[in-house]
Amino acid sequence: MNQSLAASQADTLLTALLRHHQVDAASSLSHCAALLSEAESFRHAAKAAHMTPELAPYSHLGMQLATLHQGNLLSAELYPELKQAESDTLNWLKQCFGLRYAHFSHGGSDNNLQALWQARDHTASGKKIVYASEARHYSVDKACRMLGLDLQLIATDAEDRITVSALEKACKKAPPLAIVLTAGTSATGSLDPLQDTSEIAEQYQAWLHIDAAWGGSLLMLPEHRDSLRRLSKVDSLGFDPHKSLFQPRPCSVYLSQLAPEYSSQTDYLAKAPSGRVTGSYGAELFLPLWLNLRILGENWFFQQTRARLGQARHFSELLQEQGLNTWNGGSGIICFEANGEGFDSLVTEGILSCAKVRQRRVYRAVFAGYRTQADELFRALPLSL
C-alpha cells in the first residue's frame, strides 16, 4: 500500500492493460519495460549524482490521492477539504522557518523569481542592483533578466560561500535592491554566512532572500531553527521538498514576511490572482508531503535528514582518509578532486556528477535519498586501497 509498484508488478499490469486496449503491444511493452528498468536502476544505495531523492514511504499514495482529487485551488472555495490540507502543511512549514506567509510553488527557480519580483514591487526606491555570490543558482540570473534587474556577483571563499567583506564593500559603493543568499549551493551544498549578511541587508535596507532550495531541510531541523530566528532580517525564503525532503516533483514552497499581492476567489477570471508566479495548482504540490506528515509525523523527516547528513559526513571522512581534497558544505553534498577515467565512467552511470568549485573541476556526491549509503558509494569508487 505504501510502496511504489515493483517493476515486475508494473510490467504485468501494463501488459494486461495494453492487451485489453488492443494497443500495439510489442513496441509499447518494450518501451514501458525500458522506462521501468531506467527507473529501477536509480533505486540504489550508491546512486548519488543528483538531487533526486528516493520518495518518502507514503508519497506514492499521496500522489495517487492528488490525481484522484484533481481540484484547482485557484477556486479554493470549491474544495474546503483540500484547502485545509494545504493550510495544515503550510502552517507547519511557516512554523519551521519562522516566516509569516507561505505558498506552494513548482520549484526553486519560481521561488527566486517570486522573491525578486516581490522585492522589486515592494521597494519604491527604484534600485535595480541585486547581489548574489558566484555560486548562486543560475535561476537567479534568469529572474534578474526577466525583471530588468542588474545582478552583480560577489566572490566566494574557499568553501564556496559569499565573501562577507566583499559584499559589504559592494553595498557601501552601491546599495542594492536585494541580496540573494544561498543555503545549500548547487555544487558543494555550502551555506552563505547568514548572520553577518543579514546585518548588512538590514543596514542597507535591502530585501534579503534565502535560496534554500536544497539546504532548507537542514535549516528546518529543530536544532538549527534558532539560527534563522536570530537573523536581523529575512524577507523571503524558498525551499524544495522535492530535492531534500523525499517528495516527488513538483513540491516547493515560497515563504516570506509579507504576503505577495494576491486574491483568490472562485471567479478568478474576473479578478485574477496577480501576485504569484505560480498559476493553476492543486493537490499535486503538497498532498504527498501532507500524507507522510499525517502518518509518520515531522520527526520522521527530521530523523531521515539527520541520517542523510551523517552519511554525507561519513563519506567525506572516508575520502579524506585517502588524502583526497574534499568539500563538505554541511547540507549533504560532498565534492572531491580525483583523477582517472574510472571516475568519469561513474558520472556517465549516474553514480556521481561533476561540478566546478572556484574554477576547479570536482566530482560530486549528493546525499538526497535516505537510503544512500556512504560505505557502498565509497566501494564503487575506483580507488586502489
Residues forming contacts to ligand PLP in the complex (CB under 6 A) are: 51, 107-109, 137, 139, 182, 184, 186, 211, 213-214, 240, 252
CB of 116 to ligand PLP, least distance (A): 13
CB of 215 to ligand PLP, least distance (A): 8
Residue closer to ligand PLP by CB (options 316, 353) is: 353
CB of 198 to ligand PLP, least distance (A): 18
CB of 238 to ligand PLP, least distance (A): 7
Give, in degrees to the nearest 5, the angle at Cα 247 between 245 and 253. 75
CB of 368 to ligand PLP, least distance (A): 11
Cell numbers for 268, please give them: 478568478
Residue closer to ligand PLP by CB (options 82, 135) is: 135
**Sheet order of strands, 353-357 included:** 326-328, 333-336, 360-366, 353-357
Letter string b/e over residues 6-41, b meaning 16 or more CB atoms within 10 A of that residue's CB: ebeebbeebeeebeeeeeeeeeebeebeeebeeeee
Residue closer to ligand PLP by CB (options 54, 240) is: 240
Residue closer to ligand PLP by CB (options 139, 278) is: 139
> Exposed (0-12), middle (13-18) or buried (19+): which is 184, by Cβ within 10 Å?
buried
Residue closer to ligand PLP by CB (options 144, 213) is: 213
Residue closer to ligand PLP by CB (options 79, 214) is: 214
CB of 170 to ligand PLP, least distance (A): 21
What is the C-alpha separation between 103 and 20, in angstroms, rounded?
42
Residue closer to ligand PLP by CB (options 127, 136) is: 136
What is the C-alpha separation between 31 and 201, in angstroms, rounded?
53
Residue closer to ligand PLP by CB (options 56, 191) is: 191
Phi and psi, residue 264, nearest 5°: -135, 125
Q: Where are the alpha helices (DSSP H) in 123-266?
A: 138-147, 164-173, 194-203, 216-219, 222-229, 241-244
Cell numbers for 330, please give them: 554541511
CB of 183 to ligand PLP, least distance (A): 8
236: helix, strand or coil: strand
What is the C-alpha separation between 340 and 382, in angstroms, rounded?
8
Residue closer to ligand PLP by CB (options 244, 311) is: 244
Letter string b/e over residues 103-137, b meaning 16 or more CB atoms within 10 A of that residue's CB: bbbbbbbbbbbbbbbbbbeeeeeebbbbbbbebbb
CB–CB of 243/213 below 8 Å? yes
Cell numbers for 148, please give them: 530588468
CB of 342 to ligand PLP, least distance (A): 26
Cell numbers for 140, please give them: 537567479
CB-based contacts of 376-380 (< 8 A; 24+ apart in sequence): 376/45, 376/46, 377/45, 377/46, 377/48, 377/315, 377/351, 378/315, 378/318, 378/319, 379/46, 380/46, 380/346, 380/351
CB of 109 to ligand PLP, least distance (A): 3
CB of 106 to ligand PLP, least distance (A): 7
Residue closer to ligand PLP by CB (options 108, 378) is: 108
